[in-house]
Amino acid sequence: MIGKVLGGRYEVLEKIGGGGMAVVYRAHDNYLNRSVAVKVLRPQFAGDEDFVRRFRREAQAAASLSHPNIVNIFDVGEIDDTHYIVMEYVEGSTLKQVISSKGRLSPVQALKISHQICEALEHAHKRHVIHRDIKPQNILMSRDGRAKVTDFGIARAASSSTVTHTGTVIGSVHYFSPEQARGGFTGERSDIYSLGVAMYEMVTGKVPFEGDSPISIALKHMQEEIEPVKNTNPEVPDEVATIITRALRKNQFDRYQSASDMLRDIRESLADLGEDVKSTVDEGLLNAPPAMEDDGDEMQATRVKPRKRRGLGWLKWLVPLVVVAVAGAWGSVELMDWLNVPTIQMPGVVGKSLSDAQEELRVQGLLGSVVAQKYDDKTPVGYVISQMPEAGESVKKGRTVNLVVSLGQESTIVPDITNKPLREAEVLLHGAGLDFGSIRGGFHPTIPEDSVTSQNPRKDTRVAKGTLVDVFISKGPEPTAISVPDFVGSSVQDAVQLLAGLKLAQGTITEKDSPDPAGLVIGQDPQKGSEVRAGTPVNLIVSRGPGSLSSRRNVISISIPDGNNQVDLKVTVQDGSGTRLAYRGKHDPRATVQVEVYWNGPQATVRIFFDDVQDRELTLN
């Protein structure tokens, strides 16, 4: 990787760190002439398409964050199946390294660092970005004493694909919230719990819970209470101990409900201790030598000058030679014993329960070690998903076999989507890892059209991710039925006005020969008394009058003009009997309509209207 140029601009210079998920390099941005940090995903993650998709999406969301206590994400890219993110380069140490160097920090130092971390979380949470992996390893301490939170969004991508990976769970499980440990919903209060663990470690020099395995530590987070802070470090002020204790409540609702709430108490504690809340941690904290050991009553920093011995100087050469000789002999024996270890065929334990798998491996002289836990739709919880070395390989007795164990099918909480528009409901379901099942509809007196009236499963139900949620969609209030009146015998003008008042639509108006007076309605469709909905079109048949029985007839072909909506076509005839309506109806654009026109006398004038605007007139003779 050293010497490669990623994305045509980031020249990789040196490796500066690494973890279970990625390797970090220092690189030079050739476009902007600055140093950057490039985090390259390890191959086992890069080959997981689901993880990569989530990683890119979450990294892009984290890139929207801009805060002095958050490491900026500049770019996300891929080259030759190598996925990477480009971040701000911070020269300094991790908070974990600082704690390891000092043993523990003073309450003021811990408060100042926590104040900066909390400000970063407040900024992220207001933008709906949850970290999910707050720990000292993810807090960078710059040379000027500023704390910067890194890896925003990456934890979400990782937890969506797998809860633990080699090197990931071991570093993170000490800082898990109880809900993370049990695979429940993680939100702002989960980050607050993890920050509480980091504060505990800063002032005591140790994490609240230790154990033989990641699983045992996770169980302690869920079941056991922490040892009080002041039992380990009596110098911690009561107000600081109270902040840590409240952040580490098992029940989410007993903790600080937001980073802003916690930030307020931290500021008050700093003020009570006479400290400026806006100042960074002392720069000397980062450059100080490792803490001296506590030798009882006081800190000892003395150095004893060795006495000079005479006459036995040859012993200083003899002793090392004897040690080397003994070690060489012992090493030869150990080497021969190792070379003579029996070779066996690796048994297959995939698909077996963890206890059965470990027992079978023990009988074969092997040691089963759980290195990861993953959600798996096909493997029951507590059963082995994969093993390394694989079944059938030749291995020596005593070999450690890495096991990946199933957490079962990943679950989620069904959100409340009732009364929500269909599009918003879809977003909420997808955010919870769910999707629509059957979608049915019906009228509802109060819920607007295209909004959800009911759902199954109900809200707050815990279900497996991917579960389909059946919904019932409102069509709006049920329309009231309208009884069609009797238009026969009315003038066509009166009939049209009455239709508008009843919220019925005007259909076609057709003239027919009739002994009735011209312009009188002689037929209708639907018939009188029919129950119809609002907006239903009513077609009218209108008399041409008695003189029309011996009138002349023409058929006129009319082309409807182009457009986006239907056109109202009206045709009138003017002859010796006067002017009357010959036809009226709505038609689609570009349609061709054949209209029969009857007229009396030596000639007649036909006028054609589109949407009540005269288009042309024709003379018939």
The pLDDT tens digits for 101-133 are: 999 999 999 999 999 999 999 998 888 888 888
pLDDT score, position 519? 86
Token pair 């061709």: residue = 592
**Do 166 and 173 meet the contact criterion of CB atoms below 8 Å apart?**
no
Nearest to 440 by CA among 454, 420, 430: 454
Higher-scoring residue by pLDDT: 296, 458: 458
pLDDT score, position 158? 43
> What sign for the dihedral angle of Cα 109, 112, 117, 118?
positive
Give the percent of the chain with pLDDT over 90.
Answer: 42
pLDDT score, position 603? 87
pLDDT score, position 235? 93
Cβ atoms within 10 A of the Cβ of 184, count? 16
> Which residues does 544 contact at the CB level (< 8 Å), separation at least 6?
511, 512, 513, 514, 518, 551, 580, 598
> What sign for the dihedral angle of Cα 543, 547, 552, 556?
negative
Q: Cα 99 to the chain's mean position, in Å?
A: 33
Higher-scoring residue by pLDDT: 283, 296: 283
pLDDT score, position 160? 40
Give the percent of the chain with pLDDT over 70.
Answer: 83
Instruction: Report whether pLDDT(287) > 80.
Output: no
Token pair belonging to 504: 């019925």
Alpha helices for 388-486 (secondary structure H): 422-431
pLDDT score, position 294? 33
Determine the average pLDDT of the residues in 54-75. 79
Q: In whole angstroms, give the CA distance from residue 176 to residue 132.
A: 8
Strands of 514-566 (E only): list them.
521-525, 531-533, 537-543, 552-559
pLDDT score, position 304? 33
Strand pairing partners for 617? 607
Alpha helices for 127-258 (secondary structure H): 154-161, 169-172, 178-181, 188-204, 214-223, 229-232, 238-247
pLDDT score, position 186? 76
Determine the average pLDDT of the residues in 378-407. 89
Question: Which residues are annotated as catalytic?
Answer: 133
Determine the average pLDDT of the residues in 327-337. 46
3-state secondary structure at position 539 = strand
Token pair belonging to 361: 């491996």
| Listed range (54-58, 206-210, 244-248, 364-368) with the worst mean pLDDT | 54-58
Written as one letter, the residue type at 414 is V
**Do 111 and 94 meet the contact criterion of CB atoms below 8 Å apart?**
no
Token pair belonging to 561: 């003009």
pLDDT tier, 327 (very low <50, low <70, confident <90, very high otherwise): very low
Determine the average pLDDT of the residues in 569-588. 87
Question: Please, what are the domains in the chain?
Answer: 5-88 (3.30.200.20), 92-287 (1.10.510.10), 344-406 (3.30.10.20), 411-474 (3.30.10.20), 481-620 (3.30.10.20)
**Do 21 and 52 meet the contact criterion of CB atoms below 8 Å apart?**
no
Q: In whole angstroms, give the CA distance from residue 399 to residue 347.
A: 12
Q: In whole angstroms, give the CA distance from residue 539 to residue 542.
A: 10
Instruction: Report whether pLDDT(6) > 60.
Output: yes
What is the DSSP code (8-state) at residue 421? Answer: B
Q: Can you give the pTM of this predicted structure?
A: 0.47
Average pLDDT along the chain: 82
The Cα angle at residue 218 between residues 213 and 220, in degrees rounded to 5: 100
Instruction: Report whether pLDDT(165) > 70.
Output: no
pLDDT score, position 313? 47
